[in-house]
Amino acid sequence: MAEGREVQWVEVTEGQVGQRVDNFLMTRLKGAPRTLIYRIVRKGEVRVNKKRVKADTRLALGDVVRIPPLKLAPREAVREVSDNLRNLLAGSVLLEGRDWLVINKPSGLAVHGGSGVKIGLIEALRQVREDLDFLELVHRLDRDTSGCLLLAKSRPALLTLNQALKGHQMTKQYLALVAGRWPARRDFVSARLDRYDAGNGERRVRVDTAGKVARTRFAVREAFEGATLVEAEPITGRTHQIRVHAAHAGHPLLGDDKYGTRQGGRVAARLGLSRLFLHAGALTFPEPTSGKPVKIRAPLGEELDAVLARARDAR
- The residues assigned a catalytic role are 142
Phi, psi values for residue 195, rounded to 5°: -85, 145
Residue 88 CB neighbours (<10 A): 16
Rounded CA gap, 152 and 102, in Å?
A: 9
Q: Is 192 exposed, middle or buried, given 0-12, 13-18 or 19+ CB atoms closer than 10 A?
A: middle
Among the residues of the chain, which ranges form H helices?
21-28, 34-42, 83-90, 121-128, 155-166, 241-248, 262-271, 302-313
Q: How far is CA 228 from CA 96, 177, 183, 233, 313, in A?
A: 33, 6, 9, 16, 14
**Is residue 29 within a helix (H) or strand (E), and if so which, with residue range?**
none
Residue 122: closest CA among 82, 99, 152, 95:
152
| DSSP 8-class letter at 14 | G
Residue 165: closest CA among 142, 145, 146, 149:
149
Q: Which amino acid is at 110?
A: A
Secondary structure class of 149 (helix, strand, coil): strand
List, in order, residues 6 or more apart from 47 with CB less than 8 Å away.
53, 65, 66
Strands 146-152, 278-286: pairing kind? parallel
